Amino acid sequence: MDKPTTLPAPPTAPQRPYSYERHGVTISDPWHWLRDPKYPNVDDPDVLAYLKAENAYFEGWKAEHQGLLDQLFEEMKGRIKEDDSSVPIRDGDYLYWWAFKPGGAQYRTWYRKPVGGGEDQVIFDEPIEAEGREYFRLGALEVSPDGQLLATLADYDGSERFELRIRDLSSGKDIETVTRVGIGQPVWSSDSKGIVFTEVNDNWRSYRAQYHRLGADPADAATLYVETEELGFSVGVGKTQDKSLIIVSTGDNATSEVRFVSADDPSQPLTLISRRKPNREYHVDAAHGKLWIHTNDDHVNFRLAEADVASPEEWRTVIAGSDRVYLTGVTSYRDHLAISSRVEGLDQLLLRTYSGDETQIPFAEASYSAFFMGNPEFAPDSYRLGYSSMVTPMTIYDYHPESGELEVRKVQEVPSGYDASLYKTERVMVDARDGAKVPVSVVYKRGFEKDGEGKLFLYAYGAYGHAIPPVFNSNRISLLDRGWACAIAHIRGGDDLGYKWFLDGKLTKRTNTFNDFVDVAKGLAAAKFTRPGRIAINGGSAGGELMGAVVNSDPELWGAVVADVPFVDVLSTMLDDTLPLTPGEWPEWGNPITDREAFDYIRSYSPYDNVKAQGYPPMLITGGLTDPRVTYWEPAKWAAKLRATKTDQNLLLLKINMGAGHGGKSGRWDKLHEVAETYAFILTQTV
């Protein structure tokens, strides 16, 4: 059913002839001109005029619904503690935490105080750093081992090129700017006089690890490692939990290679652990003179191995791979290996002594998310955990291994009030068309009738092996209290049910992801949660690609669609190896430049290439002008083609953040306004 609007006619982007040929196939792309050739500098007047016209059209829609937008924003803001703070955590001689200052601060302030007592010290004040800026994001914050210096990485425009600065904590003044194109996490040398960091090149690829000695000219930083063999590999650095080694890793979405050097002297040559092998991942920690290696070399669900530092290539199995237990992470502390795993899609947390005794930390709910968090010390007295479910607010625990006690340190507050007993969550298994059983996490307010007339908000991601955890979201209550059910589809492409679940949604199996999502929607309709046309859907980035695929294939199912920073121009992006991420993405999607089969397969589902003359549901599409991950022209071209092709009169909105990147706006209230826009759109458009 068309859902007309009182808005004037929407803007249109003219078509300009453009085509290219690959593998003997000519591809026409008349909206190619929306890509400014000067990107990341976008100053083409025609491009800017179109984006501004679309934004003005979006603002016109907002003006029609300002009352609802304001109501949603105030509801959601009322559920967030304005002066929220983290639980202090010990690191060396200090306790560290962050807090939002009273008065509605958009950004955190970071504090510390001596373990033995003393005054609180502000070590970094994000509100001051963000003052007068349209965008600010703190990417990393690392205190030196001697506690005297602070390294920060900050992004000031959403381009994800971070400035690395060194601050003297006694004076609060920045004393050095090491690089303006940093990324990732910086690592201090043991003597606190040097810093190891990674940089991106002009194509936004993290290509090298540098070592800078404080006081020296940053231009003279020593290159520890530069990636030259694989165009799509990214370089990262870290430090082992025992703080003895600095780790330098390189890899893509399927293959990794790790080196290390003593944190006492990072200028020494790196030691290679094991040379890269296609489709083998491994991750490394160190304790008690051994390397602890988490790898999928002989089982798809990973195993844990150990190796001697002196002979790092000789791996001995400690925990074998398992069809049932998916090992997701291992950290080596003094007394325990902290092991994260997933069994049948549910998180498991295990502490294992070095003699082999194991203790599983128990959780009661049938569906939940649990994870180790915030344990910077090598020998903690307790282990910090996070826990949540779709009805249980985030709870922070300290687990005491000696007594087995789970000590509650913080429960997420909902200032306007929240009664968990008013809501119910279910875990539903839906049969996909090929026989796979897809788990779905559903939450609704008690009293929701499964009569086939309910409205459903369905979310999914489905790529890169990223599982979407079934956690509490206070914003969601605005939908639940209006009678909606909300669901997360744990579709293939994520690793919710193990690493094979991820493999079964990538490369030549990519369309499983889209089919799973459609089948989940149909399955929930069959279970009387809803019916076709009353399902609002949302996904971002690769999840935005999902939105584009399913709206092409099954438009009649959806009442409204919100696609955030959607990766929809898949074919032309994967054909362009000059774009920042393309080479690193080939292990996920395939390389259509060299592989005709990959070309044909991507072309068969690429959302932009498969827009057709048919009715489409109401759609809200977002993008970011400075986004280096999904470039702004992907959502812009898609919206333009949809406007020119679709046969309905349903509302189509395009919003481009002109001062933000992939994650949208940066302040917590600014982000909340964007959630209100999403909710207002689906509430007004799903009938």
Which residues are catalytic, by number?
541, 627, 662
Tokens 């932009």 belong to 608
Calculate the CA dihedral of residues 420, 421, 423, 426 and round it to 10 degrees: 100
Between CA 465 and CA 233 the distance in angstroms is 17
**Helix (H) or strand (E) run with residue 477 in it:** helix 477-480
Under a CB-based contact definition with an 8 Å cutoff, are residues 662 and 630 in contact? yes
Under a CB-based contact definition with an 8 Å cutoff, are residues 255 and 276 in contact? yes
Between CA 362 and CA 658 the distance in angstroms is 47
- The token duo for 610 is 């498969």
Strand partners, 331: 338
| SS3 at position 89 | strand
Residue 151, judged by CB atoms within 10 A of its CB (0-12, 13-18, 19+), counts as buried
**End-to-end CA, the chain:** 9
**Helix (H) or strand (E) run with residue 245 in it:** strand 245-251
Between CA 395 and CA 361 the distance in angstroms is 15
**DSSP letters spanning 156-178:** SSSSS-EEEEEEETTTTEEEEEE
Peptide bond into 40 cis (omega under 30): yes
- The token duo for 304 is 């844990």
Under a CB-based contact definition with an 8 Å cutoff, are residues 182 and 163 in contact? yes
Between vectors from CA 286 to CA 285 and to CA 290, what angle results, nearest 5°?
Answer: 125
Return the closest-CA partner of residue 464 out of 424, 492, 423. 492
Mention every residue, 6+ apart, whose C-beta is less than 8 A from residue 143: 91, 94, 96, 112, 123, 149, 150, 151, 169
- The token duo for 81 is 């503690």
Tokens 């920042």 belong to 580
- The token duo for 200 is 């991106």
Between CA 20 and CA 26 the distance in angstroms is 6
Strand partners, 293: 284, 305
Between CA 460 and CA 492 the distance in angstroms is 10
CB neighbourhood size of 194 (10 A): 22
Under a CB-based contact definition with an 8 Å cutoff, are residues 572 and 589 in contact? no
CB neighbourhood size of 677 (10 A): 21
Going by DSSP bridges, is the β-strand pair 456-459/535-540 parallel, antiparallel, or unpaired?
parallel
Return the closest-CA partner of residue 17 out of 27, 28, 1. 28
Strand partners, 340: 329, 349
Between CA 36 and CA 44 the distance in angstroms is 6
Which residue type sits at 113? K
In Å, what is the CA distance from 440 to each residue of 258, 449, 470, 548?
Answer: 36, 18, 9, 21
Q: Crossing angle for the helix pair 45-64 and 66-78, nearest 10 degrees?
A: 80
Return the closest-CA partner of residue 288 out of 374, 381, 379. 379
